[in-house]
Amino acid sequence: MKNKNIVVIGGNSGIGAEVISKLEKQGAIVYSYSKSLSGDSHLDVTTDFKDIQGLPEIIDGLVYCPGTINLKPFHRFSIEDFKNDFEINLLGAVKVLQACLKGMKKSDTASVVLYSTVAVGVGLGFHSSIASAKGAVEGLTRSLAAEWAPNKIRVNCVAPSLTDTPLANQLLGNDDKKEASNKRHPLGRYGQPQDIAAATVYLLSDDASWMTGQILHLDGGMSSVKGI
């Protein structure tokens, strides 16, 4: 990753912060943007932007981290709830991808990493809104991987299960919730940011140069293994 220009959207905490830490340790040049940052680094993905200030001329990697966890029974979701999840998870990614495309075309090894959720491939109650939005992200991943392959731009997606981030505080707020979450995963534990960050850095790296259009299920076995 040494001297590669990597753009990280939403890298101020959780998985994004861990991704940035790993990238910088490997010598990457990271351009971080977030709603909570100021100046040229401020970016609210829900606004109607077309350009992102301060992008490098050549972009070797892009990581889109903004997401939501909005869980409740289907009958309690409003149309605005669905729109909000789509705005942050899908449309924000679309706007960022469009803003970064020119720079990625100038790289010989550009790689995009998006994020989905285990709830797209496994039916989980109360997940109808986020599963719908992230399902769209998976479709976008495959479509862009095909469209951008001639430009040597790889597009992959990581689909985690529950991971210990600030966004998941409501689900991991006490020891009982943590233990219950551990038991739901065949490997006996919920995810940590470094688990997802390690996979992200791999997908950005030249070690994954023959990998595109893939949904990487990083979920403690939840999507494919039945626990004992």
pLDDT tens per residue, range 27-55: 999 999 999 999 999 999 999 999 999 99
Rounded Cα gap, residues 134 and 100, in angstroms: 21
pLDDT tens per residue, range 78-89: 999 999 999 999
Q: Give me the pLDDT at residue 168, please.
A: 82
Q: Is pLDDT above 80 for 227?
A: no
Amino acid letter for position 222: M
* 27 Cβ contact list (under 8 Å, min separation 6): 1, 2, 3
Q: What is the mean pLDDT of the chain?
A: 96
For residues 109-132, give the mean pLDDT.
97
Answer for the pair 43, 100: CB distance below 8 angstroms, yes or no. no
Among 116, 128, 129, 181, the one annotated catalytic: 116
* 207 Cβ contact list (under 8 Å, min separation 6): none
pLDDT tens per residue, range 180-210: 999 999 999 999 999 999 999 999 999 999 9
> Which domains are seen in the chain, by residue range?
5-218 (3.40.50.720)
Q: Give me the pLDDT at residue 11, please.
A: 86
| Catalytic status, residue 13 | no
Among 129, 134, 161, 181, the one annotated catalytic: 134
User: Percentage of residues in the chain with pLDDT exceeding 90?
Assistant: 93
Residue 193 tokens, joined: 């940011």
| Catalytic status, residue 36 | no
For residues 130-138, give the mean pLDDT.
98
Q: Give me the pLDDT at residue 14, please.
A: 93
Q: Is pLDDT above 90 for 167?
A: no
